[in-house]
Amino acid sequence: MGIDKRTRNKVLIASLVGSSIEWFDYFLYGTVAALVFNKVFFVTEDAAIGLMLAYASFALAFFIRPIGGIIFSHIGDKIGRRNTLILTLSLMGLATFAMGLLPTYDAIGLWAPVLLISLRLIQGLGIGGEWGGALLLAVEYAPREQRGFFGSIPQMGITIGMLMGTLSLSIMTMMPEGSFMTWGWRVPFLLSALLVLFGLWIRKGIAETPSFQEVQEKGEIASVPLFETFRTHWKEVLIAIGGKVVETAPFYIFGTFIVSYGTANLGFSNRAVLWAVSIATIVTTVLIPVMGRLSDKVGRKSLYVTGTCLMILYAFPYFWLIRSGSVFLLIVATVIGLGVIWAPITAVLGTMFSEIFSANVRYTGISLGYQIGAALAGGTAPLIATYLLYTFNDSYIPVALYIIFTATVSLIAITTVKDSTNRALDRS
């Protein structure tokens, strides 16, 4: 490619920083939904109904994400990855900052949840276009023998963003309850504006990816990337949707659902649960690039299948550990599920997806698969888990079976994928 190491490092930083900021904005909502929004925006007489409404608003953004993926991947496959990523980061930043300024239900009644949901949908549009661009920025600059490692770097943004969101809320929950519920929860939303400005500055300093430049030079840009994707790569889209399921549903159960379940059902403090998630997130953030590098040696598919099988085996032990009442075992359980087992799955997912699509529709293809899979299994996971508990008298067994089901779906989907580790990345 003729690309020097300094340029590649700059690209990796731009991909990681922007991705981390966008996911911080996105995950912040999920954590606050479990602690605050069910009480100050979705006010009902039944606390369980209020929580489900808050989680429903969390899930709504996942259903708008495929639309964001279609819109911004069209732009990304037409005018380039870099400019699209600047647009998505700006959109996400504005929506998150505005959330921090919203009046509550007590102040403006039903308009409060309506405005909150509207901003959440804008977040969904932004993140729908962000992931594919951040991933391709790294993968399309990567040397062939390091593609797994490069593709794992933007995946770290998911956990770093979640960690920033969880830690910021952990710090704010040290405030008196009244102050936290009144204004403390708003602080991370407002401060996110500074992070967005930094991310925009980083991303403006990079050039377009070599793969896209080559497509431009050859005149092979698809006139309507969405139509071209469905015409030539519909099977790959279905594979990506199925492959995404196990990467997203257990993640939101281990990282978001546990916040409400651990406090309301198991009697843990907010601080204990948030710290358990934070420690697990640190572990997986460290392991993701390790697993990415390992995939360059042993193959993407084998690592993904191993992690998925472990997820099936761990579904019931996870609940046995957290139901013990021990904070230590809560941390251990979260670290194993979110920190260790999930890491190889997410580390290779994006690279594996990118290797099955041609460059002229790659942004559209991976975005569709990823975002539709996230809509079907990600945002709905805390809602489904809460509903299952509510329906089956607080029994954890249906939730554990749900985790097993998501892993089985992904195993079936991924059986048709041929491992493309260390093969040349198709550019046309």
Can you list the domains of the chain with their CATH numbers? 5-414 (1.20.1250.20)
Q: Tell me: the pLDDT tens digits for 100-150?
A: 999 998 899 889 889 999 999 998 898 888 888 888 888 888 888 899 999
Q: What are phi and psi of 142, to 5 degrees?
A: -75, 145
Residue 58: the pLDDT is 76
Closest C-alpha to 90, from 201, 11, 206, 16 = 201
Residue 111: the pLDDT is 92
Mean pLDDT, rounded, for 408-416: 93
Who's near 250: CB < 8 A, 6+ residues apart?
311, 337, 342, 381, 403, 406, 407
- Cα angle 415, 251, 94 (rounded to 5 degrees) comes to 115
Q: Which two tokens stand for residue 349?
A: 């997912």
Closest C-alpha to 426, from 239, 238, 220, 133 = 220
Q: Tell me: the pLDDT tens digits for 321-368?
A: 999 999 999 999 999 999 999 999 999 999 999 888 888 888 889 989
Closest C-alpha to 161, from 66, 306, 288, 39 = 288
Q: What is the mean pLDDT of the chain?
A: 87
Residue 1: the pLDDT is 45
- Reported confidence tier of residue 13, pLDDT bands at 50, 70, 90: confident
Q: What are phi and psi of 112, to 5 degrees?
A: -65, -55
pTM passes above 0.85: no
Residue 428: the pLDDT is 45
